[in-house]
Homo-oligomer: A and B are copies of this chain.
Amino acid sequence: MSGKFDPNFTQHVIDTMGPNVTPRNRQIFTALFKHLHDFTREVELTPEEWMAGVKMLNQTGQISDSRRNEMHRLSDIVGLESLVTEIANHVSAENAAPTSSAILGPFWSPNAPWRELGGSIIQDDAPGGLVTLMHGTVTDMSTGKPIPNVVVDIWQASSNGKYDFQDPENQSDNNLRGKFRTNSEGKYYFYCLRPTAYSLPVDGPAGTLLKLLDRHPMRPAHIHLMITHDDYKSVITQIYPKDDPWLETDTVFAVKDDLVVDFVPTDKDPKAVRDMELNIILAPNNIHEISKPVSVRV
């Protein structure tokens, strides 16, 4: 295919790599150059199309700053973060699986405060927000036993679809963020909001790309979770209400079946109007892994 172009070009580019390239970089760049060149030849990319791509990528960097990572977003909408997340969390085991991972996204903060079990992450008014008691048990994938002292780090957007640092007029620092520890029975429980679906910002190159792809910019409503314990593989994930209309077409492709949950109306808790149970399964660090060779097309 496309054999009419110089058949030695790509190998020549690969061969210019010097002897001091690390084995991993040599593997990555060899594959990257092959795929980038094969793509270019297959579609017979024109100089104008190539230059449009160069321009869009420059603009993507230029609109990014400490609060906005547009390149991260651009790679999300083409599925890249979801894919590296799947690869990183691939666990091959025979009869069990840990809770699925989903992308981290650009809104995690290392500064989320520790909060007491039974506390709330809601610091500020959220018009229309539905207060939810979220709770569950964290268990060991191998033994099925509950795990105490697991850190459950949670963050979510407010009812206007914005995270604290996107919305300083309405939200105080660390609104809708918090870290909890499971108790001696492996349980956690706290108050949060039923999440709200929102649009990615479309005023930058990611919005331009979505328009070219004739796609909507919506993420289904979700709550982010980072679940960690020294003896277990970490799980970074998101959960989604089962009645969300964007589950099938999430613009960053992060929905998996076991991450879809039910926010059940309740009148038993004076502090909440919804009850949501999420049990979490963690894989021990020493879990037996099968079939994980590194494969490179050469």
Binding site for B on A (CB under 8 A): 1-2, 4-6, 9-10, 12-13, 16-21, 25, 27-29, 31-33, 35-47, 49-51, 54-55, 57-62, 64, 69-72, 75, 78-88, 90, 92, 104, 212-215, 249, 251, 253, 291-292, 294-297
Point out the residues of chain B lying under 8 angstroms from A18, CB to CB. 213-215
- What number of copies of this chain does the assembly contain? 2
Contact: A71 with B54, CB < 8 Å? yes
Contact of A83 among B9, B86, B249, B291 (CB under 8 A): B9
Contact: A39 with B35, CB < 8 Å? yes
Contact: A83 with B41, CB < 8 Å? yes
- Known contacts A61-B58, A64-B62, A83-B40; A214 and B6 CB within 8 A of each other: no
State in angstroms the CA–CA spacing of A61 and B68 once bound together: 14
State in angstroms the CA–CA spacing of A21 and B16 once bound together: 38
Give the 7 A-B CB pairs with smallest separation, nearest first: A61-B61, A18-B214, A35-B35, A35-B39, A13-B79, A20-B214, A58-B61
Contact: B4 with A50, CB < 8 Å? no
- Known contacts A61-B64, A92-B4; A213 and B71 CB within 8 A of each other: no
Point out the residues of chain B lying under 8 angstroms from A6, CB to CB. 86
Point out the residues of chain B lying under 8 angstroms from A104, CB to CB. 47
A-B contact pairs, 12 of them (CB 8 A): A9-B79, A9-B86, A17-B214, A18-B215, A32-B78, A36-B78, A40-B80, A43-B294, A45-B87, A47-B104, A50-B80, A54-B72
- Known contacts A54-B72, A253-B12; A87 and B44 CB within 8 A of each other: yes
Contact of A43 among B20, B31, B61, B85 (CB under 8 A): B31
Contact of A44 among B21, B61, B214, B294 (CB under 8 A): B294
What's the nearest-Cβ distance from chain B to residue A251, in Å? 8
State in angstroms the CA–CA spacing of A297 and B4 once bound together: 16
State in angstroms the CA–CA spacing of A70 and B2 once bound together: 29
Contact of A40 among B20, B21, B84, B294 (CB under 8 A): B84
State in angstroms the CA–CA spacing of A92 and B2 once bound together: 13
